[in-house]
């Protein structure tokens, strides 16, 4: 006999957890089903642990460059076990806090594998053993995504790393091969280079970070190479093998021909696969696209009445803050009688290489592809007084401006605290401030923010 709830949420990620709490506090009997750990990718394998390790890598980098600041240090050694332990402690703290909030709100939390067994029915195979069946008029799917595994000959016989397992290493790799030049590959590539690994990044495309303008992608490649990483572009992995001594042999094809690269470890970072294939969606008639993402409308509703999907499983921008905004949309619409949607929302993001890459809105290539008449303002970070003073002048700043209205259409900053300055520009964009308004604003000196005066003076 199925147990009746008002709401069933599948997945305790950054949309599922606050949404479950909101429903429970509103008096709705709410079940939250999670396969492995509360908090989703962000807390457990994404934002929290990776950025904690990025911070350790930056300290190692600064220590090695201390002489540039007139500070003398000895030999630098990285204790990866201690880095890992610090990461684990923070993850545990965040996860425990989320679990406690759910308990306080009165959410029924079940640990197990959830599958749809009808339009209003969910069957849960409990991690502790046994199964239970639930029904509800409202079901929200927040089941996320996992690291993709490419169809690469030999990969099944090689003990490769993904974005989760690489953070559990207890020693710094001698030579880390990184397959993929996206956000994940670059963050880990630079991180382990700073920990002391030799690093080779293999990117199939003509540039890193395919979403970015060419000049930005080129600047990212330049700073990674300056850090000592090898970056191979237009290079496709053909096969991989492992010799008896543990050496990994990655054969690649490039315009120069075929070659084999040897390394001690292989990180596969070629994208994410939605977990929709594990949910038995067909039993409820839920539609997906060719990639397996659940299809939703601008109010996050699926094709089945009463069933919604949020977060990475929908194929939208795979960022924690977007998942959280999905929560706000459903909370407003389902609990508060609102009519919020995803239409027109700005999607900011930061890539936590160092210096950071922060972006919001349109890039130049996107804007021109849309047929817009634009003005472009750009300058290198070595024009910025504050960057010169702290000896971090790598990178550039770029803005895309509507030539007729002077409205800022997009902003990108590859530079120290790029994500923070991007966020300030995002607020200006949301408030309707023009490029001229930022040009004429008085910012405190010497701060990074005053670079906006110089940048927008060009427009």
Catalytic residues: 445
Closest CA to 212 of 409, 351, 419, 402: 351
311: closest CA among 142, 145, 114? 142
Hunting for tokens 């900053």 — which residue is that?
Answer: 413
**Contact between residue 146 and residue 277 where contact means Cβ atoms under 8 Å apart:** no
Cα–Cα distance between 165 and 188 in angstroms, integer? 12
Q: How many CB atoms lie within 10 A of CB 128?
A: 7
Q: Whole-angstrom Cα distance, residue 416 to residue 48?
A: 20
Token pair 């009445």 is found at 305
Look at residues 66, 58, 47 and name the one whose alpha carbon lies nearest to residue 83.
58
The number of CA neighbours under 13 Å toward the Cβ of 110 is 23
Residues 6+ apart with CB under 8 A from 24: 30, 105, 106, 107
Q: 259: phi > 0 → left, psi -120 to 50 → alpha, else beta; which?
A: beta
236 contacts: CB under 8 Å, gap ≥ 6: 204, 252, 253, 254
DSSP 8-state class, residue 146: E
Neighbours of 363 (CB within 10 A): 21
N residues, the chain = 459
Neighbours of 145 (CB within 10 A): 20
CA atoms 420, 426, 431, 434: torsion sign: positive
Helix axes 320-335, 16-25, angle to 10 degrees: 20
CA distance 217 to 421: 19
């Amino acid at each position: 006999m199925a147990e009746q709830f008002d709401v069933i949420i599948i997945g305790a990620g950054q949309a599922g957890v606050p949404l479950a709490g909101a429903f429970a506090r509103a008096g709705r009997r709410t079940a939250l089903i999670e396969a492995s750990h509360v908090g989703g990718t962000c807390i457990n394998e994404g934002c929290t642990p990776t950025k904690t390790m990025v911070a350790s890598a930056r300290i190692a980098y600064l220590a090695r460059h201390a002489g540039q600041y007139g500070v003398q240090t000895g030999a630098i050694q990285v204790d990866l076990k201690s880095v890992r332990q610090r990461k684990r402690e923070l993850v545990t703290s965040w996860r425990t806090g989320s679990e406690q909030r759910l308990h306080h709100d009165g959410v029924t939390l079940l640990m197990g594998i959830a599958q749809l067994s009808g339009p209003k029915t969910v069957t849960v195979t409990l991690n502790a053993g046994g199964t239970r069946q639930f029904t509800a008029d409202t079901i929200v799917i927040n089941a996320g995504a996992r690291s993709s595994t490419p169809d690469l000959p030999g990969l099944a016989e090689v003990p490769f790393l993904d974005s989760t397992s690489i953070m559990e290493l207890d020693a710094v790799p001698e030579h880390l091969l990184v397959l993929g030049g996206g956000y994940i590959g670059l963050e880990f590539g630079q991180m382990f280079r700073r920990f002391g690994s030799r690093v080779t990044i293999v990117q199939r495309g003509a540039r890193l970070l395919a979403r970015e303008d060419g000049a930005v992608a080129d600047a990212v490649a330049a700073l990674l190479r300056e850090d000592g990483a090898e970056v191979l572009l237009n290079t496709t992995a053909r096969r991989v093998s492992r010799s008896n001594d543990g050496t990994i042999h990655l054969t690649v094809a490039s315009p120069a021909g075929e070659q084999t690269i040897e390394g001690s470890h292989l990180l596969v970072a070629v994208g994410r696969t939605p977990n929709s294939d594990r949910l038995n969606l067909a039993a409820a008639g839920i539609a997906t696209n060719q990639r397996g993402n659940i299809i939703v409308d601008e109010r996050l509703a699926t094709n089945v009445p009463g069933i919604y999907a949020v977060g990475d499983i929908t194929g939208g921008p795979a960022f924690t803050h977007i998942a959280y905004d999905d929560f706000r949309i459903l909370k407003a619409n389902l609990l508060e009688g609102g009519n919020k949607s995803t239409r027109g929302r700005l999607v900011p993001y930061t890539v936590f290489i160092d210096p950071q890459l922060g972006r919001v809105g349109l890039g130049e290539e996107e804007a021109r592809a849309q047929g817009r008449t634009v003005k472009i303002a750009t300058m290198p970070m070595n024009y910025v007084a504050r960057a010169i003073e702290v000896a971090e002048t790598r990178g550039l700043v770029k803005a895309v401006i509507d030539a007729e209205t002077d409205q800022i259409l997009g902003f990108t900053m590859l530079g120290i605290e790029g994500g923070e300055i991007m966020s300030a520009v995002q607020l200006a964009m949301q408030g309707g401030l023009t490029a001229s308004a930022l040009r004429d604003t008085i910012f405190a000196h010497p701060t990074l923010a005053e670079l906006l005066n110089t940048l927008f003076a060009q427009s």
